[in-house]
Structure formats: structure tokens, C-alpha cells
A = this chain, B = another copy of it.
Amino acid sequence: MKLNDRGLLVVISGPSGVGKGTVRRALFNMPNHNLVYSVSMTTREKRPNEIEGVDYYFVSKETFLERKQNGKFLETAEFVGNYYGTPLDKVNEQLDLGNEVVLEIEVDGAQQVKKKVPDCVMIFIVPPGKKALYDRLKRRGTESEPIIAERIAKANREFKLAHLYDYIVVNDEVHNAADRIMAIIRAEHAKTERSIHKYMEMIEEN
């Protein structure tokens, strides 16, 4: 019996290269969850294999900027001339249905979300050590030295942002990290500030 019916907004973030996407996929592969992805809105061209409302909501630049102006995004970002954003109304619909909405986003976006939805659950994924992350960033592709150096510099800045989060989860083994996040979600539902309202109703009723 759950004393909090509303879903949680779970923000998964962390330094570049830490494996946020891998952890998020492992999380969704776990049994018995009611996690949902948030589908982003974008102004970039729809690719032939992409489905509207599944991969993205595709909109014009005008529509996007008007929505942004009206506070209808949880967070937005610009990437090579295109806009990306998380639509607030879609997220709230899912939370009202009791689903946990998982956002896997960069640290800048995470801070925007925290401001808009203070009761979101902020999780910072970290590597088991700096070196592990550097190795990952170097292995990642065929990029040139300056690009790798730039990524490492970015990760070094992002490492220091842990204090802005509610939880720090080490991505030592991906299934351990996913397990910990599931435990966090269960615990957050039991938190007094989320559950006391329904509890007080319950003890009044019967």
C-alpha cells in the first residue's frame, strides 16, 4: 500500500561520460516498475525512422519559442542550432497518472528542472573514480586530442556539482546503480512530506 499516489519526477544527471544513458536503460529493464520516459520537443528535422510523440514532438522554431516564453518547458537546451525541451504539461500528465517520469539530462538542464519542480528527485551519477571516467572519455571514439581534452575539462567542472543533488549514486556496476535508484524511488514515496496527507485522510476515515 502506497501512501503517495502521485508519480515522482526523477532527474538523472552527472558528469559527461559517466554512463547516464546506460544506467537509465538498465533501470527501465528492471521488473515491476512504472517508470516512463519524458518525450522531448525539438525543432530539428524529423528523420525518416522517427515517430512523432515517441522519439520527439517535432515543432517549428516559432512554436517552440512561444512555448518557452510561456513557461511551458521544464528545461530547454540548444544544440547545433536546434532547440530541445521537456514539455511540462506532458510530464504532469504522467505524474498525475502515478507514473515516475525519468529525465536523463545534462547538469545545466537538471538545475533548470530543480527550480521549476522543487520536489523532484535529483540523482547525480558518478564514476567510481576520476580515472575511470577519463578512460571512458578517451575510449569513446576517434575524436582528436583537443576534443578529448575539452571533454575532460568539462567533466572536471561537472564533478564538483554533486552538492546540488539529493543523492549521489556510483556507477560501479550498472545493475547496482539501477538497484540503488529503484531503492531511492521507493524510499522517496515513503517520505513523510509526500505521504502524510493520504495517511491523515486514512486515519480519519476508518
Contacts and interface: CB of A to CB of B under 8 A. Distances in A.
Contacts of A1: 128, 170, 172, 176
A88 to B, nearest CB: 25
A190 B206 contact: no
Contact of A180 (B179, B190, B203, B206): B190
A50 B49 CA distance: 72
Given A129-B206, A180-B186, A205-B129, A192 B172 contact: no
Interface stretch (A35-43, A53-61, A161-169): A161-169
Interface of chain A: mostly helix, strand, loop or mixed: helix
Contacts of A179: 186
Interface string A190-203: 11100110011011
Q: How many copies does the complex hold?
A: 2
B192 A165 contact: yes
Interface of A: 1-3, 124, 126, 128-131, 159, 162-163, 165-170, 172, 176, 179-180, 182-184, 186-188, 190-192, 195-196, 199-200, 202-203, 205-206
Contacts of A169: 190
Contact of A187 (B131, B165, B172, B188): B188
Given A1-B128, A1-B172, A167 B192 contact: yes
Given A196-B162, A206-B131, A168 B3 contact: yes
Contacts of A192: 124, 162-163, 165-168
A100 to B, nearest CB: 14
